[in-house]
Structure 1
Amino acid sequence: MTTLIICSIVVAILIGWLIFDYKAGRKNHLLTSKYTQYPLRKSNISVFIDGNDFYKDYFENIKNSTTYVHVLFFIVKNDKVSHEFLSILGDKAKEGLDVRLLLDYVGGSKLGKKKIQALKKQGVRIAFSHKPKLPYLFYTSQARNHRKITVIDGKTSYLGGFNIGKEYIGQDPKFGYWRDYHLRIQGEGVTDLQQQFLKDWYDSTGENDLNEPRFSTVSPKGESTHMFISTYGEKLDDHFIEFIQNAKQEIIICTPYFIPGKMILNELLEALSRGVQVKLVVPMGKDHPLVKEASLPYFGPLILAGGEIYQFFYGFFHAKIIIIDDKFCDIGTANFDKRSMYLNDEMNCLIYDPVFIEKVRSLINKDMNHSELLTYSAYEKRPLTKKIKEKFATMISHFL
């Protein structure tokens, strides 16, 4: 009995500390947040939906670089695909280029010390973002840099959902084919992605190159009007709500993790009540424990209100897209979940080019053709064990 009491006290203290740490850490974080809405720009924007096509273009542009390569990824695995990527970076560094690789502390943890040291010897400058630190150890261990930015010679840049690893080209049997959306941006917008990389590099290393002239050149205008938003665990939900409230005809949301919270769910239900079509495209499977279970409680109310939920079955679906009335398109790194809204650093591109939006819409239509429309009768047939998991997943959905 004494042991049980002691254990209960220890657990209660631990839970209390975690709650205090998180709340105090978030309060401190919001005081120093660097949310940025960049100016409207005009760039030439291409979209990649297949990992092999993306890597071919991406690796080739890095190989052809002449002055610098700045790379930020959430995840770089320790596998054959990653080694090819890192080898290219090492070769460019040996040529004398300024090559920097910034990785999330957790997402880049599989790289290994030997590989990191080898890259440094070749001249690659490596840093890690969001290392856990006191006094808010729990909060800082949860806040992740989820951005995926590359800038090459100040002329070509990339932003989107792909990381670096074999699963992104369909070589992991656990996932099969991997569907994602990643942008190549050439034009005025490159300078904004460059600035964001340098901000993150400064936050991680203390090295301030934000006013360095060679990183401040503005490329010629392109065809597509767009704007970047950079979020730090705040204001992303405000943007999502604004998108939904402005919709007149149709809302399309593509996301691997649909965990919007009650407030945004209610906005979607309100949109349905005023005659706006709401369509979700989500994966049939999952790549993390409990994320599917955390999504399911939101599906029922949406289906009953007339929403359509398409479950992509042709592999794993990792796209992060919102399209409003075919007039506005949001593509970037942020998922439609609480973690992206309230914890992660994210970067999204808001695109206002009807020709580009039409192209993306046609790609999503093809994804819907490789999806199963979830019916309420099928939704209701979930076994009791899954419903129990959903309750637990909902409790911790903030951290999934």
Structure 2
Amino acid sequence: MQHLVEHGLVASKAVHRLDLPNPPTTRSLRNDIGDLRSRLKHAAYDTTAGQLPNGHLSVSPLLGVGKNNPLSRVILELIASAQQQLTICTPYFNLPLPVTREINRALARGVKIDIVVGDKTANDFYIPPTEPFKVIAALPYLYEISLRRFAKRHQPMINSGQLNLHLWRDGDNTYHVKGMWVDERYTLLTGNNLNPRAFRLDLENGLLIDDPQGQWLAPRRTELAQIFQHVTRIEGYQQLQTLVDYPPAVGKFLRRVSRVRIERLLYRIL
């Protein structure tokens, strides 16, 4: 990671120190930024010095930026590899279409799936209705709308217990957990929000833990137990609120967004 930061980022003409006077404008760096992004699409962590034979506990660092990047591919492959159980944590429920497809395929082959998302009040962007409205305050409600649609489409799976959607809430704390736990072998720790922006635009990192001998099961179970300590299972999509239940300012903004048909664009970039 140090080598990539020094040679892949700091050495780029697009990267400048912020503690020096008169930093260049973004506009003036447009070409350099494009060059950096192009280089990062082909960048990867050098793990040759730490490779282990198959069958050993290993941690593999992953890097991804832009469409069809290595990290995104691994995420899809992990979901596709699940045979018994899959747990997904994401703070913003706005799944890319390829992820939704793999989840549906996993459900079709009988995999039990748990998805843990933050209650809208545990979202980073949540603003209480008692405070002045800002556009950014609509984001938690957009994510809840997306979650409600997903739950409605999958209600039979929820009823059977094969699909479990959980809302995390712990007082005034915010929820920003991201990761995947596949069967009792793979764990992915990542900054990827599992949303279209992470799959198409942002530079994302991940650590893939492969535990073929079950050496890491105890701390893994402890970690999951701590996450599930503050969740409530969604028994039916009707538990989630709709536009009529939202604060007036939020409802008014979301109706306006829906009328001008930019809701789909928002889901792609947020």
Q: Give the TM-score normalised by structure 1.
A: 0.45
Residue in structure 1 matching 2:157, options 297, 300, 305: 305
Residue 321 of structure 1, CA deviation: 0.9
Which letter maps to 1:326? E
Cα contact 2:85–2:182 (8 A) shared by 1: yes
Aligned to 2:108: 273
Contact 1:247–1:276 (8 Å) recurs in 2:
yes
One of 70, 75, 86 as aligned partner of 1:240: 75
Change (3 A) 1:358 1:302: farther
Unaligned runs of 5+ in 2: 38-43, 126-135
**Distance verdict in 2 for CA 1:219–1:262, change over 3 Å:** closer
Instruction: Note if 1:372 corresponds to 2:205.
Output: no
**Aligned partners of 2:245 and 2:142: how far apart in 1?**
11
SS, match of residue 215 in structure 2: helix
Question: Which residue identity is paired with 2:152?
Answer: G
Unaligned residue ranges in structure 1 (runs of 5+): 1-37, 39-68, 73-97, 103-107, 119-126, 144-191, 197-215
Aligned residues: 222
Q: Is the Cα–Cα contact under 8 Å of residues 66 and 201 in structure 2 kept in the other structure?
A: yes
Q: Who is 1:170 aligned against?
A: none
Q: Which residue of 2 aligns with 1:163?
A: none
Contact preservation (8 Å) 1:255, 1:321? yes
Shift of 1:393: 4.3
Find the counterpart in structure 2 of residue 398 from structure 1.
268
Alignment of 1:293 onto 2:142: yes
Aligned to 1:229: 62
Structure scoring higher RCO (CA < 8 A, sep ≥ 6) equals 2
Tell me which residue corresponds to 1:350. Answer: 208
CA-atom RMSD, angstroms? 4.5
Correspondence for 1:359: 219
Which amino acid in the other structure matches residue 269 of structure 2? F
Q: How far has the Cα of 1:311 moved from its partner?
A: 1.3
Is 1:255–2:255 an aligned residue pair?
no
Deviations 1:132-170 (A, max 9, x none): 654799xx7xx8xxxxxxxxxxxxxxxxxxxxxxxxxxx
Considering only CA atoms, is the larger Rg found in Structure 1 or Structure 2? 1
Identity %: 18
TM, length-normalised to structure 2: 0.64
- Deviations 1:97-143 (CA, angstroms, capped at 9, x unpaired): x9xx96xxxxx9xx9x6xx149xxxxxxxx99xx5654799xx7xx8
Q: Show the 5 A alignment for 1:176-215.
A: none
3-state secondary structure, aligned to 2:216: helix
**Cα contact 1:304–1:376 (8 A) shared by 2:** no
Which structure dedicates a bigger proportion of its chain to strand? 1
Deviation at 1:381, TM superposition (A): 4.1
